[in-house]
């Protein structure tokens, strides 16, 4: 049990204070939720897998020059991160049509999108994360135009790095969400990148290897996450 002060408990992660006011301990829990928190279960090993998956991805992005809040892993299910003032919008990139895009626009699932699409959504479960645009974001003070432009630039830079990374592993990075925050007056990538927040398919069979396995009651949710990790070259460790 963590003895530090709990500052925030999200749907799948808890943030704790540390001795450094600029750093937080991020603990990945086994809680798994869908449909704005209406469906919640515990899945063994999921916190451990997502923490190590995210650590791998964030370090790859740092190596590519994309700043983010990850500092280091401190145990199998927890990492030290920079303390950010989060911007309450999600940046969603779609490389292939799936999910809500198909429902909203009548697009055929599986259609390759060239160029990739970009959308902003307000982080608000009660409102079911409605789509918003630059004008609304500025008017309501969620971010400045400069921050909006930087979020878009970083998001597409992330896409260039990760599309290739997943493709080289025989995987399709269908879509994903990113969240950003401000650290010492600088906008950087925050939150996490794991199969919880993206869609990943096998390139040949189109087998689903992400949280859609949970949403659609397909089973073997964590096993799907672990398969992706293994194919990306992530060595998962778990204390007995």
Hey, which CATH number is domain 85-232, 3.30.470.20, 3.40.50.1460, 3.40.50.720, 3.10.180.10?
Answer: 3.30.470.20
88 secondary structure, DSSP code: S
- Considering the chain, tell me which residue range(s) the CATH 3.30.470.20 domain(s) occupy: 85-232
Task: Provide the pLDDT for residue 92.
Answer: 98
Task: Provide the pLDDT for residue 1.
Answer: 43
- Considering the chain, tell me which residue range(s) the CATH 3.30.200.20 domain(s) occupy: 6-82
* Tokens, residue 156: 């597409």
Task: Provide the pLDDT for residue 73.
Answer: 97
Task: Provide the pLDDT for residue 39.
Answer: 72
Task: Give the C-alpha distances (Å, rounded to integers) separating 38 from 27, 33, 128, 229.
Answer: 22, 7, 11, 27
Task: Provide the pLDDT for residue 37.
Answer: 60
Task: Provide the pLDDT for residue 216.
Answer: 92
CATH top class, domain 6-82: alpha beta
Task: Provide the pLDDT for residue 36.
Answer: 64
Q: pTM value?
A: 0.93
Residue-by-residue pLDDT tens, the chain, 240 positions: 456 799 999 999 999 999 999 999 999 999 987 776 677 899 999 999 999 999 999 999 999 999 999 999 999 999 999 999 999 999 999 999 999 999 999 999 999 999 999 999 999 989 999 999 999 999 999 999 999 999 999 999 999 999 999 999 999 999 999 999 999 999 999 999 999 999 999 999 999 999 999 999 999 999 999 999 999 999 998 754
Question: DSSP strand E in the chain: where?
Answer: 6-9, 13-17, 23-28, 31-34, 39-42, 70-75, 78-82, 85-86, 89-96, 112-122, 131-132, 171-178, 180-183, 186-189, 198-202
* Tokens, residue 80: 């030290």
């Amino acid at each position: 049990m963590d003895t530090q002060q709990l500052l925030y408990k999200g749907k799948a992660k808890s943030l704790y204070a540390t001795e450094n006011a600029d750093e937080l301990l991020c603990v990945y829990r086994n809680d798994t939720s869908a449909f704005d928190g209406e469906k919640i279960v515990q899945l063994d090993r999921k916190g451990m897998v997502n923490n190590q998956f995210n650590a791998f991805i964030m370090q790859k992005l740092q190596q590519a020059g994309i700043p983010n809040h990850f500092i280091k892993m401190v145990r199998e299910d927890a990492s030290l991160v920079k303390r950010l003032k989060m911007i309450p919008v999600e940046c969603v990139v779609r490389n292939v049509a799936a999910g809500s895009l198909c429902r909203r626009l009548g697009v055929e699932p599986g259609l390759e999108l060239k160029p990739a699409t970009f959308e902003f959504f307000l982080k608000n479960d009660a409102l079911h994360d409605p789509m918003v645009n630059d004008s609304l974001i500025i008017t309501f003070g969620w971010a400045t135009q400069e921050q909006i432009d930087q979020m878009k630039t970083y998001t597409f830079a992330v896409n260039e790095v990760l599309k290739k990374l997943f493709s080289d592993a025989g995987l399709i990075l269908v879509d994903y969400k990113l969240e950003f925050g401000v650290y010492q007056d600088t906008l950087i990538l925050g939150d996490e990148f794991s199969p919880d927040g993206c869609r990943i398919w096998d390139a040949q069979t189109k087998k689903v290897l992400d949280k859609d396995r949970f949403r659609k009651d397909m089973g073997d949710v964590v096993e799907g996450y672990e398969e992706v990790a293994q194919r990306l070259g992530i060595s998962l460790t778990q204390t007995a």
